[in-house]
Amino acid sequence: MSDVMLKVEDLNASYGAVSVLRGVSLQVPTGQVGVVLGANGAGKTTTLRAICNMCNTSGTVELDGEDILKTATAEIVRKGVGHVPQGRGTFPELSVMDNLLVGAYTRKDNEIRDDIGRWFEIFPRLEERRTQLAGSLSGGEQQMLAVARALMCRPKLLLLDEPSLGLAPLIIEDLFERFAALNKETGLTMLVVEQNANLALEMADYGYVIESGEITLEGPAEQLKNDPAVQEAYLGA
Amino acid sequence: MELLAAGSKWSSLPDFIFNGLSLGAIYAVVAVALVVIFKATTLINFAQGELAMLGAFFVYVLNIEQGLWLWLSIVLAMAITAGLGALVERTLTRPFDPADHLPVVLITLGLFLIINAVAGDIWNYQVRRVNDPFGKFPGWVPFWGGDRFIEVFDSRLRYQTIGIWITVIGMLVGLSMLLNKTRAGLAFRAVSSNTESARLVGVNTGRTLGFGWALASAMGTLGAALVAPTLGGVNPNMMATILIYGLAGAALGGLDSIGGAVLGGVLVGIIQSVVVSWLGVVVLEQHYMSILQLAAAFLVILIVLMFRPSGLFGTRKIERV
């Protein structure tokens, strides 16, 4: 594995004629957690979508040293990117179990059931509800399911799109503790985009601030936490 | 009291119920085929019936003209129309933005007219006789071997009705296994539920939609092959009204529920046969009702959509903000 799991350079992204990202550059070293902070409409979601080639892009996107800018989304997933989209992105009409099975759609090995058991240990609520339809779960449970589903493809890189959105503070805290544990125990590389800067910076190694489609500030998480501009804009200080 | 006095009218009721069940089974097949495509794309494929008609003609060509075994002809015709359905999806619908329904619906309407005209040009509009897979009970059936029907309450329960039902139930069991027990079925359900997330777990959504179209086209062909003998044979217009009844059944059941489509199709068949033909024409002697059968189907769609826009078993869309 290369030292840098994700390398994005001078990335531009647009939907039709609307340009959303302009020259975004960021990296996530293997085994680390990167965070992109930004307000609504700054381009956080588009950054993740552009990495997975879900909009028109130009520039450089490299996964583990391999150029994936023009690779089809489904193929990028095969290459090891787990993407938890904004608003959970579960399959509401499928059972919890089927959600996890379809998460392993790209795999052909026989350890799929073992993996499901493993994520059930980490998210016991999902095991209790495994025959229930995903649409009937609470917001927090759906977010856990969305993450577990993304992990089922055994990603090298996990992209999390505002996992805290619409969840109660206690649930958010619990969720971020699990993400941090996941990163520590398995060495899984993550890129999180968030508005909730506090918890995200707590977990992250390195952070970026995005405004109007451009990276305006970057630095180690510790440093960003103490940056007056970040404090004012995202930490409510 | 007048009704009871007319004993012969009552005695004809079972006939109309059996007829309604037989029609309903066909409508159920068409409704399920429509729902399979609707679930994945939220589109109504108006060319569904014409693809099925084409399939019935393939059965005619293979069985009557080429002399192949009837069931082999049906299976081959299903395979051919499945390929055609996937081809239509790939070439005529996939290039368009799936969120913009109007162009694709217009394309399926255009396809309806084109397939109908091409079939009319090749085979003209005369009814061509076909073999009935369920003409007489096979010889090994006790009591009724070789008969065309069973007598129930002085009415005739035809082998045709029973055979159609057995085939339709078999098809539904097969469909359910395919959707619930296979990898392709899981992918199809995932795309139907959330297309974008399906792409994010590595499902090739285009190929999966093609699979849905193929499945729906094959089922349509089976329905058309079963209904053809009851219409006296195949002709290019055979599926036009059946598609409307199937659509009524699908709307009644809720458009995105396969079980609902089956029940909806059967209900429409029963309404057509029992309410319109038996109650309206035979009992109340309102003979004009017989030409209003199609209007009755529309009335069903209208009433359901007015009071329950999501049908009897459809999912109500709830948006969480």
User: What is the average pLDDT value for chain B, to the nearest integer?
Assistant: 86
Cβ-based neighbours of B319, under 8 Å, separated by 6 or more: none
Do the chains contact at A74 and B315, CB–CB below 8 Å? Answer: no
**Do the bridges between strand A33-37 and strand A206-211 make them parallel or antiparallel, or are there none, so unpaired?**
parallel
In this complex, the residue of A78, A91, A152 whose CB is nearest that of residue B193 is A91
The whole-number pLDDT of residue B5 equals 47
Structure tokens at A86: 């904004």
Do the chains contact at A102 and B194, CB–CB below 8 Å? Answer: no
Contacts of A75 in chain B (CB under 8 A): 202
The whole-number pLDDT of residue B6 equals 52
- Nearest partner of A140 among A117, A163, A115, A116, judged by Cα: A163
CA dist B50 and B112 (Å) reads 6
Contacts of A166 in chain B (CB under 8 A): 320
CA dist A85 and A46 (Å) reads 11
User: What is the average pLDDT value for chain A, to the nearest integer?
Assistant: 89
Do the chains contact at A74 and B205, CB–CB below 8 Å? Answer: yes
In this predicted structure, the answer to whether residue B316 has a pLDDT above a threshold of 70 is no
The whole-number pLDDT of residue A185 equals 87
In this predicted structure, the answer to whether residue A165 has a pLDDT above a threshold of 70 is yes
Q: What is the DSSP string of A71-85?
A: S-HHHHHHTTEEEE-
In this complex, the residue of B186, B189, B196 whose CB is nearest that of residue A89 is B196
CA dist B237 and B120 (Å) reads 9
Q: Determine contact, residues B89/B210, Cβ cutoff 8 Å.
A: yes
The whole-number pLDDT of residue A191 equals 95
Interface ipTM above 0.90: no
The whole-number pLDDT of residue B289 equals 73
The whole-number pLDDT of residue B221 equals 95
In this predicted structure, the answer to whether residue A27 has a pLDDT above a threshold of 60 is yes
Give pLDDT tens digits for A80-137. Answer: 999 999 877 899 989 999 999 999 998 888 889 999 998 898 888 899 999 999 999 9
Please give, rounded to a whole number of angstroms, the shortest distance from the CA of B189 to a CA of chain A: 8
In this complex, the residue of A54, A92, A105 whose CB is nearest that of residue B203 is A105
CA dist B301 and B146 (Å) reads 41
CA dist A109 and A105 (Å) reads 11
DSSP code, position A92: T
Contacts of A92 in chain B (CB under 8 A): 193-194
Contacts of A98 in chain B (CB under 8 A): 186, 189
Closest chain A CA to residue B186: A102
- Nearest partner of B7 among B154, B192, B212, judged by Cα: B154
CA dist B249 and B264 (Å) reads 4
Residues on A contacting B at a C-beta cutoff of 8 Å = 52, 54, 73-75, 77-78, 83, 85, 89-94, 98, 101-103, 105-106, 139, 149-150, 152-153, 166
Q: Determine contact, residues A80/A154, Cβ cutoff 8 Å.
A: yes
Judge whether B251 is closer than 8 Å to chain A, CB to CB.
Answer: no
Identify the bridge partners of residue A81 per DSSP, sorted by sequence position: A157
The whole-number pLDDT of residue B320 equals 42
Give pLDDT tens digits for B240-295. Answer: 889 999 998 998 888 888 889 999 999 999 988 888 788 777 778 777 777 777 78
Look up residue B211 and give its amino acid.
F
